[in-house]
Structure 1
Amino acid sequence: MSDRYSPILRRLVVDGTPERAFLAFVNGISVWWPKGFSANGENLTRVTIELTPGGRVFETGASGAEISWGSVTDFEPGVRIVMAWWLGLTEAAPTVIEVVFAPALDGTEIGFIHRGWGNQNVGQHGKFDAAEGWDRVLHAYRDYARWHAARVGPDTTTTIIASRRLWIATEAVLTPVDIRFFLPLPADGSWGCRYEIDWPERRRVFTMFGADGVQALYLAMSMVGSEVYGSDYHDDGTLMFDRPGAGYGFPVSANDRDQLIGHDRQFF
């Protein structure tokens, strides 16, 4: 992506720690994103950032149809997120958005960079740089971050409530696969439960939403189970919990129950 033209730069301070501000940005985007900045307008029902390398960024309208905005190219929770971006542009001439989260005396300083402007897309530069462009979007995020920080109380965004270590056994080498579940938190009428899976090639981070904390946690556990059973390590028989073939101790979605092995088949 070209950098022939000046990037759009913004700085602002939001309430909460960098970890909390990051989660408010990613997990709360359906709440704070202005509907006018979408293809569906008032019919916008959800915005999703799939927090994994190559994860999709997209909107969902009232009809259920999805419209792509971009993709996640890099991220570090509580530190930064980088996305290829083509909302308001064309996918053939995307730009890059980078959002950086840094501790500040009175909250978190947000560094916002919209770069990658070239001859094919610079004609749209002005609408993003205008007061009704990114300024409006970021002010909406700042207001939501303030509300979110006040509602959840003491910072619990990094509180791990459960963890499990699986193993990949290849010849004489055991490679750990650590799985962590974080405290479910309220998110504008629903609850979100974040989880992480440390696969050897990458860290998978995602959040599942439910009607309350219990449902969000159960859905997160089920998603982990489906991902574990859908992994190449399960398929080649190298993945295990306490012993090969005994299962992993996670529920799965109804569509994946025919894949269960060992104790998982008995209990789930």
Structure 2
Amino acid sequence: MTLDPIVAEVTVPVTTTEAFVGFTAQMGEWWDPMLTPDPAAYTGIAIDPDGPVASVHGDEQYVWGRVVGWDPIGRYTQEFWLGHAEEEPTTLDVTFTDTPEGTLVHLEHRGWTEGSEDVRATYTHWDDLLRRYAAHVS
């Protein structure tokens, strides 16, 4: 097993600002409810640019991250602990780069530590999530 970052990317036919807004403010619209603590009650995702990232399930929120970088011109970074301990967060780092076709969205999920190989192996959905995201913003 490896501790290398998980990398996924997609090019979307929108501006970098539109791509950023689609990824952040609209995450709850494209995120797969099956990847939340309570899929049947899932209603969205709340992101505070200066604080927590949480799945919203009716009146309940399940915090699974914290924003540590918010640059609408090109980068979104958060601590990430969905599926593992908050005390051992990983990092989700997403960049948005202009291309002739629109915007290249490059995602890296990194920060895996010794002993987290089994947890890392469960993160197989980033390509699927980026396809859902691309369909949403396109």
TM range (shorter): over 0.9
1:12 is aligned to: 10
Contiguous gaps of at least 5 residues in structure 2 = none
Match of 1:69 among 61, 64, 73: 64
Cα shift readout 1:186-245 (whole Å, capped 9, x = no counterpart): xxxxxxxxxxxxxxxxxxxxxxxxxxxxxxxxxxxxxxxxxxxxxxxxxxxxxxxxxxxx
CA distance in 1, matches of 2:87, 2:117: 13
- C-alpha separation between the residues in 1 aligned to 2:73 and 2:133? 16
Between the aligned partners of 1:88 and 1:80, the Cα distance in structure 2 is 24
Superposition pairs of residues 1-268 of structure 1, within 5 angstroms:
5-52=3-50, 55-62=51-58, 64-128=59-123, 130=124, 133-146=125-138
Question: SS at the partner of 2:65?
Answer: strand
- Structure 1 distance, partners of 2:115, 2:63, is 19
Q: CA RMSD in A?
A: 1.3
Question: For the residues of structure 2 that align with 1:99 and 1:90, how far apart are their CA atoms?
Answer: 21
In structure 1, stretches of 5+ residues that fail to align are: 147-268
- In the alignment, the residues of structure 2 paired with residue 79 and residue 123 of structure 1 have an alpha-carbon distance, to the nearest angstrom, of 31
Rounded to whole Å, the distance in 1 between the matches of 2:31 and 2:135 is 11
Q: How far does residue 122 in structure 1 lie from its aligned partner after superposition?
A: 2.2
Partners of 1:46 and 1:115 in 2: CA distance:
24
Q: Could you state the TM-score of these two structures normalised by the residue count of structure 1?
A: 0.49
- SS of aligned partner of 1:66: strand
Alpha-carbon separation, structure 1, partners of 2:129 and 2:38? 16
String of CA shifts for 1:63-88, please: whole Å, max 9, x gaps: x1111111001121130011000011
CA separation in 2, counterparts of 1:69 and 1:120? 20
- Cα distance in 2 for partners of 1:120, 1:51 equals 30
Corresponding letter in the other structure for 1:29: M
SS at match of 2:24: helix
Alpha-carbon distance, 1:119 to partner: 1.9
Task: Report how far residue 121 of structure 1 moved.
Answer: 2.3
Q: Which amino acid aligns with 1:13?
A: T
Q: What is the count of residue pairs matched by the alignment? A: 137
In terms of Rg, which structure is larger? 1
Determine the structure 2 residue equivalent to 1:196: none
> TM-score under structure 2 normalisation?
0.94
Which structure shows the bigger proportion of residues in helix conformation?
1
- Partner-residue secondary structure (3-state), 2:122: helix
Percent of residue pairs bearing the same amino acid type: 26
Contact 1:46 1:61 in 2 (8 A): yes
> After TM superposition, what 4+ stretches of structure 1 lie above 4 angstroms from structure 2?
none
